[in-house]
Amino acid sequence: MNRRSRIPCSIRLLLRFLLPLSEREYFLGDLEESCALSRGPDRKASRGHGWLHEVAGSLVLRFGHRHHHKLQSDNQEGEGDGMFREFLNDLRFGIRTMRRSPGFATVAILTLALGIGATTAIFSVVNGVLLTSVPYPEPERIVRIRECNLTYGLPSFSVSPMNFSDWKTRSESFDFMTAYTTRRPAYTGGEYPENLLVYTVMEDFLELFGAELALGRGFTPAEFEPDNEQVAILRYGFWQRAFAGKPDVIGDSIILDSVVYTVIGVTDRNWQPINEVDLILPLRPEPRWASNRHEHWLTSIARLKPGITQEQAQSELSNIAATLESEYPDFNTGWDVRVSSLADNLIGGLRPQLLILLAAVGLLLLIACVNVANMMLARALVRGSEIAIRMAVGARRGRIIRQLLAESVLLSFFGAALGIGLAWLGIEIFRAGSSSVSSPP
């Protein structure tokens, strides 16, 4: 029997590697026969086909072979192709392995859960506080303006209404500049008397914060003038609570400290002011303001014009403050202005602490991962004989690695699931313990 092959050795080896075992003998036999009868690839080489063509064909066969398994599995189990079925088998085996050693599984899952839970909880807080703490359009342009008088030992203080009025008139760095203060008027229209938290605001307040209204309209300039009808805009929550979400609430009256206000609007459900107020009222100038710049009680917020930096605004307002100091030496001597971003103002000195906490829990997660990796390494040593047996009965290296990866995926999945639960619990604890953090000082 002539055993000398006409198929080049390299091609034969390549085809042996590519061809599925069930078809290998017949395919190579056919190829050999084609060459022997001068009907094979060496004949076709002159026509531009040849061995490369046949190797490409064997690739098609290999792909087709996998599809053949898919057909069979479709009819038998409906579990998809071979690789996915193998992965499912690996997962099943992984679960059985975990059940055989519950101590290892419990400790590994708990370690991962603690690491993942702590990191997720702290990152959520940091994300909420540092990264997305100011829920207004273009928050980087919103600044808080305060007065300061180092002679009196006041590095940051509220704003005098008349000084605010002069800043607004003379400055050019801002699209909007507004001021507000909070009040606690008595409300007796509900089931029981209560003190509401109310903003009294100057013009442009709603515009500056990009407040949208669910019903009605905002304030008109006339409504900031004395002696006009008193009007109020309700917060969505208060509208639901006090008026049961009454759709035709516009035009209704509400009595605060015995003064009747007409409801002209309801803020959008998603609009979030700095404080949890119930109502927004217009702040109307009073004659006594003009005669006394000593009274500092306003909180001033402004939106920088596009392209204007905080430093430019600070410089302009300091110049105005210096002018006011010379114009009103009795009231303004030693008073300057401090401009700071609203985000920094709300967070205060929390930023470094939060970042350190985030780094700490990041390290905690790293330690948890290293611990679990160590445990898995130790376990791999114990399972050495099991792996050796599996390789002896034909498991390939890649197959063993896939199995171990599937077990790791299972541990990570359970650890992450428990970790998310712990993170949720942690966030709730943070929320309960820090309800006052969002209020400005």
Partner 1 sequence: MTMPEKYSNKGPGHPGEFEIMVMLAILRLGPDAYGVTIREELEQETSRTITLGTIYKSLSRLEAKGYLHTRTSEPTAVRGGRRKKLYHVSVTGLRAVNRSLSDLWSLTRGLDLGWETS
Tell me the closest approach of the beta carbon of residue 39 to partner 1, in angstroms: 7
Q: Does 389 bind partner 1 (CB under 8 A)?
A: no
By CB atoms closer than 10 A (0-12, 13-18, 19+), residue 402 is middle
Are the C-beta atoms of residues 233 and 227 closer than 8 Å to each other?
no
Among 8, 13, 29, 421, binds partner 1 (CB under 8 A): 29
Q: Does 383 bind partner 1 (CB under 8 A)?
A: no
Q: Does 10 bind partner 1 (CB under 8 A)?
A: no
**Residues 125, 346, 131: CA angle, nearest 5 degrees:** 40
Tell me the closest approach of the beta carbon of residue 40 to partner 1, in angstroms: 9
Nearest Cα neighbor of 225 from 251, 203, 208 is 203
Q: Does 305 bind partner 1 (CB under 8 A)?
A: no
Number of residues that bind partner 1 (CB under 8 A): 37
Q: What gap in Å lies between CA 406 and CA 376, rounded to an integer?
A: 13
Among 14, 23, 91, 379, binds partner 1 (CB under 8 A): 23
Residues 344 to 373 in contact with partner 1, rule: CB under 8 A: none
Alpha helices in 160-254 (DSSP H): 161-170, 205-208, 236-243
Q: Does 71 bind partner 1 (CB under 8 A)?
A: yes
For residues 41 and 161, which CB has a smaller minimum distance to partner 1 in the complex? 41
Among 8, 64, 135, 440, binds partner 1 (CB under 8 A): 64
Among 43, 68, 351, 390, binds partner 1 (CB under 8 A): 68
In sequence order, the 6+-apart residues with CB closer than 8 A to the CB of 281 are 183, 198, 199, 200, 201, 230, 231, 232, 233, 256, 261
Q: Does 26 bind partner 1 (CB under 8 A)?
A: yes
Q: Does 56 bind partner 1 (CB under 8 A)?
A: yes
For residues 11 and 365, which CB has a smaller minimum distance to partner 1 in the complex? 11
In sequence order, the 6+-apart residues with CB closer than 8 A to the CB of 51 are 8, 11, 41, 42, 45
Stretch touching partner 1 by CB under 8 A, among 65-73, 101-109, 150-158, 425-433:
65-73
Rounded to 5 degrees, φ, ψ at 293 are -90, 5
Residue type, 196: L
Question: Which residue has 């217009």 as its token pair?
Answer: 282
Q: Does 43 bind partner 1 (CB under 8 A)?
A: no
Tell me the closest approach of the beta carbon of residue 14 to partner 1, in angstroms: 12
Interacting residues with partner 1 (CB under 8 A): 1-3, 5, 7, 23, 25-34, 36-37, 39, 44, 49, 53-54, 56-61, 63-65, 67-68, 71-72, 75
